[in-house]
Structure 1
C-alpha cells in the first residue's frame, strides 16, 4: 500500500513539472529563494576570487603572467562550455541530479586544488574541474526558476539571484585578498566546498523528472574546447604552431556542425548578420574588460607595490560592487532611450576609464579605484544593450540557441582576453615610453595596454553601430 501511494506521488510529480513544480516550490518559497541566492553567490565568487592573487601565484611558482593567468583562463573555458552543455542536459534528464553532480564535481576540483598547492599543473587541473562543475549552477538556477517557481514570484527570484551574483562578483576580490594575505591563496579552493550543504535541501524540494529523448553534441563541444585551448596557448606564448592548430580545429568544427544533427552551435545563426555583429561586439567589449581586470593586480603590485589585501579591498572592491547599481540604471535607460544610447554611454565610461588611467598610470593607485567604478559601470550598460539587441534579432524558435551562443561566446572571450593580456605582460612588445605624462618605466607596459584597450572598445562600438545604429532610437 505504501509503495502504491509512493508510486502515485511520483506519477503526479513527473506528469507535468510545470504544474507540480511551482505548487511545491511556493510552499517553501523563502527557503528556495535563499538557497538559490546562496548557489548564485558561490557560482561567480570563484570566478573573481583568484584574480587578486595572480601575482602571488606567479611569484610562488616563478612563472610569467602569461602562465599564471591560466588559473583564470582554465576556469572560464570549462565554465562557458559547461553552461551550454548543462542547459541542454536539463531538458533531457531534469534538474535534480544534474545539480547534485555539478556541485560534487565543483567540490572535487576544489579539494584537489586545496591539497596540491605546490604543483602548478595540479592547480590548473583543479581549476578546469571546478569550472566543469560550477557551470551547472547558473544553468540549473535558470531552469529551476522558470520551471518550478510560479509566474507571480519569478521576478522576485531573478532579482534575488541577480543581487547575490553581483555581490559574489564584488566581494570575491576582497575575500581573495584577505585569505591570500592572512593564510595562503590555496585556501581559496576551500570556499566552494560550502555549496555541498545545499544538496539535501534540493534533493528534498525538487521533484523527480523522467528522462526525455534528446542528444547532446559532446563531440562538437570537445572540438570547440580544443580550439579555445589551442588559441589561448598561442596568445600566452605566441608559438605559431598553436595558432595553426587552432585554425585547423576550427575548420574541423565548422565542417562538423554542418553535418551533425542537433549541433553544439546552430550553423543557421551565422547567416544572420545583425546577430553575428551583436555577438562579435559582446566578445570584443567583454573580452577587453576581462583583460583589463586581469591586468589590474599586476599593475598595482609592479607600479604601486600594494599588498594583495589592499588590491582586493581598496582597489577592486568599489568597482565590482558598482555593477549592481549600474545594471539597474542601464535597464531603465534602455527602455527610455534605446539600446544604442545605453551602449554608447557604456563605451564612453569605459573609454574614459582606460584613457584616464593610461595618462596617469604611475601617479596614484587610487586613480584606479575610480577608473574601475567607471569601467564596471560602463560594462553593466554594455551587457544590457548587447543582450537586448541580440535577443531582438532572433525568432522565437531561435531564442534558446541564439542566447546560449551569445553567453558561450562572451564567456570564452573573457578567457581569451585574460590570456592575451598575460602574453603581452610577459614580453616586451608594449614595454616602451609613449605618453609624456608617464615617467616610471614599470608603468610603460600598463599605460600602453590601456591605450590598446581603448582602441578595441572603439572597434566594438563601430561594429555595433553598423548593425544596430539605424534601427535603435
Structure 2
C-alpha cells in the first residue's frame, strides 16, 4: 500500500452517530407543530371571538410558509452549509414560540406560525445534506437507519401531535402549544452547536451567488398557486394567472442566469427525480384527503365522537410507524412503492362501499391498508431522492420534496371541500373516493414505468 493511498483513505469510515440526535430532533419540529394546532383551533377561536374559517389560517400559514421556505432554505444550506441555517432556523422557532405564547391577537398568532414554519424549514434540508456528506466523507453509502429514523420521527410526532396538544391545553391552556417550542428550540440550538460540523467552503462568502430574483419568483408562483388551492373560487381567478406569469418569468430567469436557484437544465434532465416529486405529490394528495375526508365522515355521518374516531385511526398510525421501521431494514425502493400503491388503491376502493351502517371492524380494517401505504411511500420517495438528487443541490432537492408534500395537502383540502360541499355524507365520501382512486392508480403506473428505481443504490446498514 502506498503512502498516498493511505492518506487519501478516510480515518473514520463509519457514519458519525453524534449527528443523529440534532438531525432527528430538528426534523420533528415541523410535524409536531403541524398537528398540535388541530386541537387548539376551537379554544383559540373562543379566546379571540373569531369563527373557524378565520382560525384555519393558523394551519394554512404554516403549510404555505413551509412549502415555500423549504427549497429556498435548502438552497441556502447548499451554498453556506447546514450548521448556520440549522441554528438560525431553530432560533426562529423559539422566537415564534415566544411570540405565540404572548400574542395579544390572532394576527400575532398567525405571524408566530409563519416564523415557526420558516424556522422548521431548515432542519430537513440540513439533515439530508449532512447525511449525503457523511456518505462522501466515509466513502461508504449512508446507513439506512438514519434515513428511516427521519421518516419514523416525522410519522411518530405527527401521530402524537394532537395528543400532546390536548395534554398541554388541559395543563396550561392553548398558549402552551406555542410555549413548548421554547425548550424544543433551545435543545436544537444546543445540540446543533455541540454536534453539527463547521464546513469551511469558499462559497460561504459568495453572497452574490444567491439567486434572489429566482427565489422571489418561485415564492410568488407557489404562494399564488397554494392560495388558490386553499380557496378555489372563480372570484380568485387572478391567483392562477399570477402563478402562471411567475412560472414563466422564473423559467426565463433560471435559463439565463449563471447560478440559478433552480437549475432547470439539470432538473429537467433528471427524469427520475421529477418522477419522485410526482410520486410524492400523488402519495400525499391521497393520504391527506383520506385522513381529512374519512375523519369528517366518521364524525358527521357515522356519528362517532372525536375520541372514538381517534381510536379507529390509531391502528392506522401504528401500522404506518411499524411498517416504516420494518421496511427501513430492506434496501428495495421500487418494491416499497409498488406495495404502497396497491395498498392505497385497496383503501380507496373500500371507501366506495362504505355507508352509515358499516361495522366498526371494517372501518378499523381500512387502517391496515392506509397505514401500510403511509409507512412505505414516504420512506421510499425519501430514499429515492437521496440517490437521485445532485449532491451539490441536496438541500434544495430535499426542500422541494417537502414542498410537493404540502402541495398534496392543499390539493387534498380542496378535494375534500369540493366532495363535502353539502356536508360529510356518504355520497360525498364516494365522490372523494372516485377522485382518489385515479390518483392512486397513477401512482402505481408511474412507479412501474420508472425503470430507474431498479438501479437505486441500496442503503447499507453499519
- Give the alignment's TM-score, normalised by structure 2: 0.77
| Alpha-carbon offset, residue 134 of structure 1 | 0.7
Partner of residue 321, structure 2: 324
Contact in 1 for aligned 2:42/2:52 (Cα 8 Å):
no
Question: CA 1:246–1:422 in 2, change beyond 3 Å: closer, same or farther?
Answer: farther
Aligned in 2, Cα 1:327/1:450: closer, same or farther, shift over 3 Å? same
Offset at 1:166?
3.6
Partner of 2:410: 416
State the match for 2:70 in structure 1.
83
454, 464, 467: which one aligns with 2:437: 454
2:264 — aligned with what? Answer: 267
Q: How far apart in 1 are the matches of 2:287 and 2:220?
A: 24
Residue 202 (structure 1) aligns with: 192
TM superposition shift of 1:133:
0.1
**How far apart, in 1, do the equivalents of 2:418 and 2:280 lie?**
22
Alignment match of 1:285 (pick from 283, 286, 292): 283
The 2-side partners of 1:301 and 1:463 are apart by 34
Q: Judging changes above 3 Å, is the alpha-carbon distance between structure 1 residues 442 and 36 closer, same or farther for their aligned structure 2 residues?
A: same
**How many Å separate the matches in 1 of 2:43 and 2:293?**
14
Deviation at 1:163, TM superposition (A): 4.3
Alignment partner, residue 202 of structure 2: 212
Return the alpha-carbon distance in structure 2 between the equivalents of residues 458 and 367 of structure 1.
Answer: 22
Distance in 2 (alpha carbons) for counterparts of 1:205 and 1:388: 24
Q: Give how far 1:401 is off.
A: 7.6
How many Å apart are 1:132 and its aligned residue? 0.4
Q: Deviations over 1:309-355 (max 9, x none)?
A: 5544x2443322322321244456663xx71x432321221122233
- Matches of residues 314-393 of structure 1 in structure 2 within 5 Å? 314-331=311-328, 335=332, 339=334, 341-363=335-357, 367-387=362-382
- For residues 399 and 405 of structure 2, the distance between their equivalents in structure 1, rounded to whole angstroms, comes to 10
More off after superposition, 243-252 vs 194-203: 194-203
Query: Match for residue 248 of structure 1?
Result: 245
CA contact (8 A) 1:77 1:415 kept: no
1:294 to 2:277 alignment:
no
State the Cα RMSD in Å.
4.0
Shift of 1:273: 4.5
Residue 179 of structure 2, aligned match among 175, 190, 199: 190
What's the CA shift string for 1:375-396, capped at 9, x where partnerless?
13113322344455566766x6
Q: Are positions 1:136 and 2:136 aligned together? A: no
CA shift, 1:267, in A, is: 0.8
- Deviations 1:235-255, CA, capped at 9 Å, x for gaps: 233232222222222222222
- Pair 95,231 (structure 1): closer, same or farther in 2 beyond 3 Å: closer
Q: Deviations over 1:71-123 (max 9, x none)?
A: 3333233224333233333344344432221112112222333334852x444
Q: What 5-or-longer segments of structure 2 have no aligned partner?
A: 1-8, 457-462
More deviation in 96-105 or 291-300? 291-300
Matched residue, 1:100: 87
Q: Tell whether the 8 Å contact from 1:70 to 1:419 is kept in structure 2 after alignment.
A: no
Encode CA deviations 1:217-266: one digit per residue, 9 max, x unaligned: 33323322222222222223323222222222222222222122322222
For the residue of structure 2 that corresponds to 1:359, the secondary structure is coil
Tell me the residue number matched to 1:50.
37
- C-alpha separation between the residues in 2 aligned to 1:310 and 1:182? 22
- 1:177-227 residue CA offsets vs partner (Å, 9 max, x unmatched): 444567654532222222233223433444555463243333323322222
Post-superposition Cα deviations, 1:288-312, rounded to whole Å, max 9, x if no partner, equal: 2123223344334423455555544
The 5 A counterparts of 1:423-438 are: 423-424=417-418, 427-428=421-422
> Is the contact made by 1:391 and 1:399 (CA closer than 8 Å) also made in structure 2?
no
CA separation in 2, counterparts of 1:457 and 1:68? 31
**In 1, distance between residues paired with 2:132 and 2:445?**
36
Structure 1 window deviating more from structure 2 (76-85 vs 260-269): it is 76-85
Distance 1:447 1:334, change over 3 A: farther
1:170 counterpart residue number? 159
